[in-house]
């Protein structure tokens, strides 16, 4: 009578004496011999974790059993739970072997095919499953505990690395790549860059691991601002690791990503040599102009704006067009008394808003005071033993979370209160110097200016003037000269070399 043997241990069992694979195999072989069976084949499953579903040897064992069922009378295991830790899987396997006519025998447990034998098997299986469940519960509660203590217990994300100190719990610390993470948040937070630009910048700076989707994940990961978010808890947990960026920056970036704050990046990426490309329209057919370089007869290169339309031949020298545009912007210079009036109106509006902010700030502070008192009360309750530790942790975390949100709100208020004067001064300066600012800006900023002042279409007229359909409200109310009044002037210091 032929039998087959199946042996398996978990990693933990392997460490304990008497549970080794060799011992199991030996016991099974002895059991076969004692019962006058001939061992046809031994299947040994190595390196098991408690949960592994994929078991190559078990698969081979089943295949072998199906092929050789006529020659096999039994399958010997050390214990029934070798098959599967899960009771229903175990029962399922025992049933399958039964259908093949192969008895499954345990060399350490009751083998009777009687109802008591079946019960024994079920009980043994139940305990195996129970043990397994407890083990995973323990792991989860361990992780929960760690998270509650502010420890990140998963793989360190890009920008952090895991530091293991002997005798201490391992922790995550900023890695060499942290500079890239900081840069990415700063760039997006500035509102001047798109994710694609940030991605390219990081790659160029030597951040080899970055991908576009990883960048998006990074920008949304609160871990970088010191907060831990897991499925265990609804709210953020303040981590013990060093944050790479401030909470203000993180939440600002979230607002931009969620479309709550406008990102002011240009819609179309342009050639840096041609700021007016895709912006000004053709005087003949009103199609948007493009720009490019062409070679002259002597091999010298010339820059031109030309019409995108294939049947249109409009072609304008880059220097001429940009000089005209600069001159046109000059016409937007508002009168001094208008500027002063502007300042007065803005300040007036701001003062009303400020009193609201002060009220708001007072309310936030009051709420924070209340929350802090609540936090103290919770502490008293645990000291007096009136609440359980679980309740304490939960309540404490809730209050801490709300406090954090309030602190952020308060900081936002501060920003607005402090910056109004600088902002106003800049606005005045901007309004008074729009043409020169445009001239001296880089490509990105030039386009932002252009789109700000002329939010809709603007056409270049053949007589050297421009015809916008809409001018930004602020300019149309600042008493600028009408387009007819403006003169085509080359400003001082505006050399062709600057453009070509
Ligand atoms: Zn055209």
On whether residue 381 sits in a domain, the answer given is: yes
pLDDT recorded at residue 186 = 92
Distances (CA, A) of 105 to 28, 297, 436: 10, 96, 92
Distances (CA, A) of 336 to 356, 422, 436, 478, 482: 31, 19, 17, 10, 17
Domain end point (choices 242, 257, 272): 257
pLDDT recorded at residue 491 = 40
DSSP three-state, residue 348 = helix
Q: How far is the CA of 302 from the centre of ligand 1 (A)?
A: 20
Cα gap 52→86, rounded to integer Å: 11
**Eight-class DSSP state of 468:** E
Query: Please, are residues 381 and 373 in contact by the beta-carbon 8 Å criterion?
Result: no
Q: How far is the CA of 236 from the centre of ligand 1 (A)?
A: 57
Domain end point (choices 393, 409, 432): 432
Asked whether residue 352 falls in the same domain as residue 204, the answer is: no
Q: How far is the CA of 138 from the centre of ligand 1 (A)?
A: 73
Q: How far is the CA of 413 from the centre of ligand 1 (A)?
A: 50
Q: How far is the CA of 443 from the centre of ligand 1 (A)?
A: 24
pLDDT recorded at residue 124 = 64
DSSP three-state, residue 277 = coil
CA 106 to chain centre: 52
Q: How far is the CA of 288 from the centre of ligand 1 (A)?
A: 8
Query: Please, are residues 78 and 106 in contact by the beta-carbon 8 Å criterion?
Result: yes
Q: How far is the CA of 316 from the centre of ligand 1 (A)?
A: 11
Asked whether residue 310 falls in the same domain as residue 447, the answer is: yes
Q: How far is the CA of 311 from the centre of ligand 1 (A)?
A: 8
Q: How far is the CA of 321 from the centre of ligand 1 (A)?
A: 15
Q: How far is the CA of 309 from the centre of ligand 1 (A)?
A: 5
Q: How far is the CA of 281 from the centre of ligand 1 (A)?
A: 8
Q: How far is the CA of 331 from the centre of ligand 1 (A)?
A: 26
Domain end point (choices 115, 144, 173): 144
On whether residue 166 sits in a domain, the answer given is: yes
Q: How far is the CA of 457 from the centre of ligand 1 (A)?
A: 14
CA 310 to chain centre: 44
56: containing domain: 2-144
Distances (CA, A) of 408 to 237, 247, 368, 430, 435: 15, 7, 11, 30, 38
Asked whether residue 41 falls in the same domain as residue 118, the answer is: yes
Query: Would you write out the chain's pLDDT as a tens digit for each of its 500 residues?
Result: 899 998 876 655 554 545 677 888 888 999 999 888 999 999 887 754 544 455 677 778 888 888 888 899 889 988 777 666 666 667 777 777 877 888 888 887 766 665 656 666 666 666 666 766 776 666 777 778 888 888 888 889 999 998 877 777 778 999 999 999 999 999 998 877 889 999 999 999 999 889 999 999 999 999 999 999 888 787 888 899 999 999 989 998 998 888 776 655 444 455 678 889 888 999 999 999 988 888 777 778 888 999 988 888 888 999 999 999 998 888 777 777 777 777 777 777 777 777 777 777 788 888 888 888 888 888 888 777 777 778 887 787 778 777 777 777 776 665 555 566 777 777 777 777 888 888 888 887 788 778 877 878 899 987 888 888 777 666 665 544 444 444 343 343 343 333 33
Q: How far apart are the first and last CA of the chain?
A: 96
Q: How far is the CA of 445 from the centre of ligand 1 (A)?
A: 26
Asked whether residue 217 falls in the same domain as residue 317, the answer is: no
Q: How far is the CA of 217 from the centre of ligand 1 (A)?
A: 44
Asked whether residue 427 falls in the same domain as residue 439, the answer is: no
pLDDT recorded at residue 39 = 92
Q: How far is the CA of 495 from the centre of ligand 1 (A)?
A: 28
CATH code for position 111: 3.40.50.1390
Whole-prediction pTM: 0.36
């Amino acid at each position: 009578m032929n039998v087959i043997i199946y042996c398996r241990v978990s990693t933990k069992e392997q460490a304990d004496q008497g549970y080794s694979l060799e011992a199991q195999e030996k016991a099974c072989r002895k059991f076969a011999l004692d019962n006058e069976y001939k061992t046809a084949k031994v299947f040994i499953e190595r390196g098991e974790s408690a949960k592994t579903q994929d078991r190559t040897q078990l698969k081979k064992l089943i295949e072998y059993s199906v092929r050789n069922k006529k020659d096999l009378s039994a399958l010997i295991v050390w214990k029934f739970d070798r098959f599967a830790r899960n009771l229903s899987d175990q029962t399922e396997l025992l049933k399958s072997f039964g259908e093949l006519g192969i008895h499954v025998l345990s060399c350490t447990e009751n083998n009777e095919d009687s109802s008591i034998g079946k019960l024994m098997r079920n009980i043994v299986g139940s305990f195996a499953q129970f043990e397994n469940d407890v083990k995973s519960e323990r792991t989860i509660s361990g992780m929960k505990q760690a998270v509650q203590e502010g420890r990140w217990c998963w793989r360190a994300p890009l920008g952090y690395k895991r530091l293991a100190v002997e005798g201490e719990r391992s922790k995550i610390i900023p890695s060499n790549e942290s500079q890239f993470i900081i840069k990415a948040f700063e760039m997006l937070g500035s509102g001047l860059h798109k994710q694609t630009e940030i991605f390219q910048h990081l790659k160029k700076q030597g951040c080899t691991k970055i991908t576009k989707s990883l960048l998006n994940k990074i920008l949304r990961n609160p871990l970088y601002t010191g907060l831990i978010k897991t499925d265990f808890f609804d709210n953020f947990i303040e981590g013990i690791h060093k944050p790479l960026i401030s909470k203000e920056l993180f939440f600002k970036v979230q607002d931009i990503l969620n479309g709550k704050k406008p990102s002011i990046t240009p819609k179309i990426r342009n050639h840096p040599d041609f700021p007016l490309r895709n912006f000004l329209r053709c005087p003949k057919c009103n199609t948007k102009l493009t720009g490019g370089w062409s070679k002259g007869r002597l091999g010298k290169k010339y820059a031109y704006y030309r019409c995108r339309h294939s049947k249109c031949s409009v072609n304008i020298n880059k220097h001429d067009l940009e000089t005209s545009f600069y001159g046109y912007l000059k016409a937007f210079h508002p009168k001094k008394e208008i500027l002063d009036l502007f300042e007065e109106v803005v300040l007036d509006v701001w003062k009303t808003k400020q009193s609201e902010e002060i009220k708001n700030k007072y309310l936030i502070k009051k709420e924070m005071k209340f929350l802090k008192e609540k936090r103290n009360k919770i502490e008293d309750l645990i000291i007096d033993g009136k609440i359980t530790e679980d309740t304490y942790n939960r309540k404490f975390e809730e209050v801490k979370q709300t406090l954090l949100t309030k602190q952020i709100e308060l900081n936002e208020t501060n920003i607005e209160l402090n910056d109004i004067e600088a902002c106003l001064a800049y606005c005045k300066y901007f309004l008074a110097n729009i043409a020169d600012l445009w001239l001296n800006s880089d490509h990105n900023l030039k386009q932002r200016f252009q789109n700000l002042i002329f939010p809709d279409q603007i056409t270049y007229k053949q007589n050297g003037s421009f015809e916008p359909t809409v001018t930004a409200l602020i300019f149309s109310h600042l008493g600028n000269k009408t387009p007819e009044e403006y003169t085509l002037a080359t400003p001082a210091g505006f050399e062709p070399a600057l453009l070509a």
